[in-house]
Amino acid sequence: PQTIYLSEYQVPAYLVDHVDLRFELFEEGARVHSTLSVRRNPDSRAASAPLELDGDSLRLESVALDGAELSAADYEDRGDQLVIASVPEQFELSVVTWIEPQNNTRLEGLYKSSGMFCTQCEAEGFRCITFFPDRPDVMARFRTRIEADKASYPVLLSNGNDVDRGELEGGRHFVTWEDPFPKPCYLFALVAGDLVEKRDTFRTCSGRDIDLRMYVEPRNAEKCDHAMDSLKRSMSWDEEVYGREYDLDIFMIVAVDDFNMGAMENKGLNIFNSSCVLASQDTATDAAFQRIEAIVAHEYFHNWSGNRVTCRDWFQLSLKEGFTVFRDSQFSADMGSPTVKRIEDVTLLRTAQFAEDAGPMAHPVRPASYMEISNFYTLTIYEKGAEVVRMIHNLLGPEMFRKGSDLYFERHDGQAVTTDDFVRAMEDASGRDLTQFRLWYEQAGTPVLNVSDEFDAEQGVYRLNIAQHIPDTPGQSNKKPQHIPFALGLLGSRGEPLPLKLEAGEENAPAERVLELTEASHTFEFHGIGERPVPSLLRHFSAPVRVNYPWSREQLLFLMSHDPDGFNRWDAGQRLAVDVIQSLVGAPKDAAVEPRLVTSYRHLICDSSLDQALVAKMLQLPSEAYLIELADNADAPAIHRARERVLKHLAISLRDELVACYRRNLESGDYEITPEAIARRSLRNTALAWLLVINDEEGRELAVRQFRSADNMTDRMGALRALVNSDYEEDRNLALEEFYQQFREDPQVIEQWFSVQAASDRAGQLPQIHALLEHPAFDWKNPNKVRSVVGAFAGQNLSAFHNPDGSGYDFLAEQVCRLDDSNPQIAARLVTPLTRWRKFAPEYSEQMKAALERIRDKDGLSRDVYEVVHKSLA
């Protein structure tokens, strides 16, 4: 496959001002009539360039230029391109293509899901619908007429406003949609199906009433309220915090079961994976409710950060994704607990993005090259991209950042731009020079900060040295120092925050500062310090970096209970737990577990005056995935055993406290989704899980009772997970069966049922995984089902996946090869756990590499999987 380079970007030779589409939808396929108003781009230097339109899996039926049908000699159909060598300055091109949505298993372009037609055009799916310059810097106005059988497809939707509708012969009907805003074709959408409509309205800040509509299959009619409420909250938050008002008169959301990602921000017609939009108390966990709120907000926010101002090319993907993740993360923080949201974001970043940044697929936030753009919808583009925007926010402060975003939206409205344009708007609005900061977009790899300190008791000076280096990544070495905002505080021996005087005699010094690191090494002096302080470093996780500092366990325990920054309290607890678990990896069975860990957890469980949402997070031990990410020559089963050992020791030592915690947090009133109620459910389900890890009889009874009497999915799933991960095999099987019978008609719940088993070392050993793949509810064509079994096994059930006999790797390789023909995007994503092979001890890594080689050798490998496998083996 060909590699595409940012350095070779050229403006399009032709622009399209208007697109007229007519879709004739049938069971045996669809005919697409497209008429493009094209003109030569005055900014292009390619004066007499041929017209080149992208296409993929299309059957060309006819081509006409300015109304005159072209003969085959006038154009070249190269399969992936339609080329017309000679065209006038300005013209109308009409093309008719035939496609087969019912056979489209890649879920790119127009396809069928549960009997309805739907589209996914980002990044390059529009070319699977008709021939078109499929690149985001070609922005056109779209008019779309959809024709279909009225009984089977009463609802016909596209972008913009419905401007015409009527009956046709043979029981067919049509609806015409017009989108007044020019957009790239990746934002095009079409839906045709038998769907129920849920309506609401939103009055904007300027007093316009927006028609809000959700379209779902009739069986899901009662699962729309949460998404609709989330949408209204998002609309009003974006007005308040960013001054962004919605622009069309209608905003539509559609839920589809078969979808490669979470959702898609098509202009005025967002399409969602059902699992990311449908919720009811009975079927969705608290985590799902929160995820839905965040994704609804994310897609809505794209209307400005992505649609009104879009990307010039796909190297700029983080322009819209990083900025929009930052915006949705601010929104979620405002809707719930900011500290908990920060902990969740950082957990994902440190566990998965840091691993990506240290692996063979590492790439900058603005990549310099790619083979298959679908492989670049990564944690680096999304999560690290959001952290980069967050750092700009922190460096500029909220007011200047808002000035910068206002300027960005005003200056670039209706344009396709670059990450550099975004940074320039921030510079111009604030007067700050972000030249060095731009390296965050160019250099891959997670910066490492080595911090050391000394205390000069005589002078009352505390010195902190911070040295940064950025590890080599594929194609990049000897990197330059980056501009890193580093927030910190110092604590005295009673936990009191000390004033941070950077000069002797400084008055009113603050207790927290953001130091700006720009050199390879800096030494900071803090004056007027009477005793050796305990440093609280990188508060709020002010930059996406690794910090090495030789904390003693004593200091970590101290920070856990005294740090005024909730995030760093949590982080101290994580560092302590990591240290304790790491010290037990490969240690003799009777090696002691740090007793102070038990004491500190007892304090967390018993002191109900603490912020319970934070406590709920602090009680979660670092995940196996994170422990592996931190290790060299990782031995996943040994890490699993050490972690289990600590968990069991804590559960045995704190058994009575856990029962009391469970009872104290039992619900009394109605089910609510407030941070307090979520924390209560989280605490009692953690208590339950711990009790079952040690086969506690009372815990078993509580779990069975909770499973049967729960009035919400969080508690039902909490009890089920605890039983599944226990040694009570009979209860486990009974609960799994009961759960299945109760929810067998609900695909989103069955996905949870699959993944709770596949992720469990008790219920998810390979023979059981094979049985799940044979289960009647499993469907290879549905990405959610594949993720819930194969993805959960390889990504969460790490001791089983890393079975020393290599069977887990063989299994994954086999499933990737199987999926590669039907859905290459999903196949390529599933390879991820194998790409980390260099991280593991040789007895694992050699077998992982062999599995990758087997995938590499498959005949007809897709470009998606080819890129991931070849880069991993390079």
Nearer to ligand HT7, 327 or 700 (CB): 327
CB atoms within 10 A of CB 167: 9
**Contacted by 825, from Zn ion, ligand HT7, none: CB < 5 to 8 Å by type:** ligand HT7
To which residue do tokens 């209706």 refer?
414
Nearer to Zn ion, 307 or 685 (CB): 307
Q: Compute the least distance from the CB of residue 276 to ligand HT7, in Å.
A: 10
For residue 59, give the nearest of 145, 134, 147, 131 by alpha carbon.
131
Q: Compute the least distance from the CB of residue 265 to ligand HT7, in Å.
A: 5
Nearest-CB residue to ligand HT7?
261
Q: Compute the least distance from the CB of residue 459 to ligand HT7, in Å.
A: 53
Q: Compute the least distance from the CB of residue 724 to ligand HT7, in Å.
A: 31
> Cβ distance 417 to 316 under 8 Å?
yes
**Burial (CB count <10 Å: 0-12, 13-18, 19+), residue 817:** middle
Nearer to Zn ion, 23 or 382 (CB): 382
Taking the C-alpha atoms of residue 148 and residue 26, their distance in angstroms, rounded to an integer, is 7
Nearer to ligand HT7, 15 or 129 (CB): 129
Please tell me what DSSP assigns to residue 132: B
Q: DSSP 3-state assignment of 461? A: strand
Taking the C-alpha atoms of residue 362 and residue 382, their distance in angstroms, rounded to an integer, is 13
Q: Compute the least distance from the CB of residue 108 to Zn ion, in Å.
A: 17
Taking the C-alpha atoms of residue 76 and residue 837, their distance in angstroms, rounded to an integer, is 44
Cis amide prior to 362 (ω within 30 degrees): no
DSSP 468-537: EE---BTTB-SPPP--EEEEEEEE-TTSPBPP-BSSTT-SS--S-EEEEE-SSEEEEEEBS--SPPEEEE
3-state SS of 303-318 is CCECCCEEECCHHHHH
* Interaction site with ligand HT7 (CB under 6 A): 120, 122-123, 260-261, 263-265, 298-299, 302, 321, 374, 377, 825
Cα angle: 116, vertex 119, 125; to 5 degrees: 150
Distance of CA 842 to the CA centre of its chain: 31
**Contacted by 176, from Zn ion, ligand HT7, none: CB < 5 to 8 Å by type:** none
Q: Compute the least distance from the CB of residue 382 to ligand HT7, in Å.
A: 7
Taking the C-alpha atoms of residue 446 and residue 450, their distance in angstroms, rounded to an integer, is 13
Q: Say what angle helices 697-709 and 655-664 make with each other, to 10 degrees.
A: 20
What CA–CA distances, in Å, run from 248 to 61, 267, 429, 819?
35, 9, 28, 39
What CA–CA distances, in Å, run from 780 to 310, 763, 788, 799, 819?
34, 21, 11, 25, 8
DSSP 790-834: IIHHHHH-HHHHT-TTSHHHHHHHHHHHHHHHH-HHHHHHHTHHH
Q: Compute the least distance from the CB of residue 152 to ligand HT7, in Å.
A: 25
Q: Compute the least distance from the CB of residue 279 to Zn ion, in Å.
A: 20
Q: Compute the least distance from the CB of residue 299 to Zn ion, in Å.
A: 7
Nearer to ligand HT7, 272 or 753 (CB): 272
Strand order across the 461-469 sheet: 521-526, 461-469, 448-456, 546-548
Nearer to ligand HT7, 265 or 453 (CB): 265
Calculate Rg over the CA atoms of the chain.
28
Nearer to ligand HT7, 147 or 265 (CB): 265
Q: Compute the least distance from the CB of residue 765 to Zn ion, in Å.
A: 36
Q: Scan residues 218-277 and list those touching Zn ion (CB under 5 A).
A: none
**Contacted by 213, from ligand HT7, Zn ion, none: CB < 5 to 8 Å by type:** none
Nearer to Zn ion, 324 or 555 (CB): 324
DSSP 356-388: HHTSTT---SS-SEES-GGGG--HIIIIIHHHH
Taking the C-alpha atoms of residue 498 and residue 530, their distance in angstroms, rounded to an integer, is 10
Cα angle: 164, vertex 166, 168; to 5 degrees: 140
Tokens of 621: 């031990």
**Contacted by 580, from Zn ion, ligand HT7, none: CB < 5 to 8 Å by type:** none
DSSP 664-713: HT---S----SHHHHHHHHHHHHHHHHHHHTT-HHHHHHHHHHHHH-SSH
Q: Which stretch binds Zn ion (CB under 5 A): 316-324, 487-495, 800-808, 835-843?
A: 316-324
Q: Which stretch binds Zn ion (CB under 5 A): 208-216, 322-330, 364-372, 620-628?
A: 322-330
**Contacted by 572, from ligand HT7, Zn ion, none: CB < 5 to 8 Å by type:** none
Tokens of 535: 């440093």
Taking the C-alpha atoms of residue 329 and residue 102, their distance in angstroms, rounded to an integer, is 37
Nearer to ligand HT7, 286 or 864 (CB): 864
Please tell me what DSSP assigns to residue 622: P
**Contacted by 421, from Zn ion, ligand HT7, none: CB < 5 to 8 Å by type:** none
Taking the C-alpha atoms of residue 534 and residue 104, their distance in angstroms, rounded to an integer, is 60
Nearer to ligand HT7, 299 or 427 (CB): 299
Nearer to ligand HT7, 147 or 179 (CB): 179
Nearer to ligand HT7, 264 or 702 (CB): 264
Q: Compute the least distance from the CB of residue 379 to Zn ion, in Å.
A: 13
Enzyme catalytic residues: 299
Q: Compute the least distance from the CB of residue 818 to ligand HT7, in Å.
A: 20
**Contacted by 375, from ligand HT7, Zn ion, none: CB < 5 to 8 Å by type:** none
Instruction: Give the interface with Zn ion as residue ranges (CB under 5 A).
Output: 321, 324
